[in-house]
Amino acid sequence: MKTDEIHQQLDVPPTKQEVETARQVKPLRMPHFIRARGIANVEEAPYSKRYIVILQIVFFTILGTISRLAMIRLTNYEGAYINYSLGTCLWCNFTSCFVLGLCNNLFTFWSSVLKGSNKTNMKQFAMHTGITFGFCGAFSSLAALLVEATFKADNIVSGGYNASSRGYGATEFFGVIFVQMGVCVLGYLLGKDTAALLDIFKGTALLARYWKYRNVRIAENIFAALGLLGIIGNILAVGLLPLSNSYKKHYAIPVLLGIPGSLLRFHLSWMNGALSLADWFPLGTLVSNMCSTTIMGALNILLYGYYDKAEGTMIVTVPVQRIVVKAFETGFCGCLSSIASVMNELYNLDHPVQRYTYSFITFLCCWLPIFIIGSAYNWTRGFNTDYGV
């Protein structure tokens, strides 16, 4: 297929936000933005199958997964403003959306890097894919957000206070949803505006002076090598460290299970725009989030479900089995699901009807599996979140 024909398939006019940013920040040569709508040449497709891209995702997934798990543990302390004993994902989601908004709106930086390359779009850089798909995707989690809302609504995690009426469960549910979604939107907008401020005060111009295309390629190769070393290192940690080791239990196993989750989410992104009747709809992101929430709903039963509430026995009691189930939930499901991608797609949809349609379908399709699987079991047999891993 000729290059001109490929460009005709991939070309999409810049969004209103991109045009507004270009007008606000002068002088600014905005790079050429394209979105994938079919199979194209490897060098011209934003989401290529090159090994360098895969290794970028691996490295940044390792970084994002460790950061997410560490931040959840760090912000889970007695008397915290967000009272959720299992550890809230609020701070992770905010930071991830901020980084994604910043990365996608550093127009001056990416314009400078594009000079001297044969690329026409920032998304063709493996490092950009690693940061957005790998780090931001692994650092945030829509599935964890919905589990948090459902557990608060069902009074499973009450912080020691039992609601006097089931009606308060609805208040808790919408409280979590509104706070989390509002913070995610704020994070993305702050990231976007921070990128604009860096352009205005010549911050990105100074950065672009040293980060040319050649330097970016060197960084991509270094990150790829670190990705391979990260896999090897975590495999050795799982194989050699004792089960009681904190890094092995809380980080190494989730990291190894999170890498396939991120790569599967990356592969499913090819489905974005695949609906013939609504080519604007990000189907791939929806499918990955639905898969994550469905699996997480089942894993929550294994982790927290009573086998016999009268006797106080749990379904899974062997420590090794509980560690693996928990790692599957925080690693594979956590990386397969991403709220940062949802925020980015909502921000780039042109029409309010599209944004509300995508929001409603995403919320309903991703929350229902958790509600049907987890809440139904909680009502019949009960959950116990105090049974640790």
- End-to-end alpha carbon distance in the chain: 54
Which pLDDT does position 5 carry in this prediction?
A: 52
Amino acid at 244: S
Which residues face 305 on adjacent strands? 383
Which pLDDT does position 25 carry in this prediction?
A: 40
Which pLDDT does position 35 carry in this prediction?
A: 40
Distance CA 335, CA 264 (A): 9
Q: At what angle do helices 107-114 and 213-240 cross, to 10 degrees?
A: 110
The whole-angstrom distance between residue 301's C-alpha and the CA centroid of its chain comes to 23
One digit per residue, the tens of pLDDT, for the chain of length 389 reads 444 554 454 454 555 544 544 444 443 444 443 343 332 333 334 444 478 899 999 999 999 999 999 999 999 888 888 888 888 999 999 999 999 999 999 888 888 888 877 787 888 889 999 999 999 999 999 999 999 999 998 888 755 456 666 778 889 899 999 999 999 999 999 999 999 888 888 777 777 777 888 888 899 999 999 999 999 999 999 999 998 899 999 999 999 999 999 999 999 988 888 877 788 899 999 999 999 999 999 999 999 999 888 888 899 999 999 999 999 999 999 999 999 999 999 988 888 899 999 999 999 999 999 999 988 898 888 898 877 67
The model carries a pTM of: 0.84
Which pLDDT does position 36 carry in this prediction?
A: 37
Which tens digits make up the pLDDT trace of 146-197? 999 999 988 887 554 566 667 788 898 999 999 999 999 999 999 999 998 8
Which pLDDT does position 208 carry in this prediction?
A: 73
Which pLDDT does position 161 carry in this prediction?
A: 58
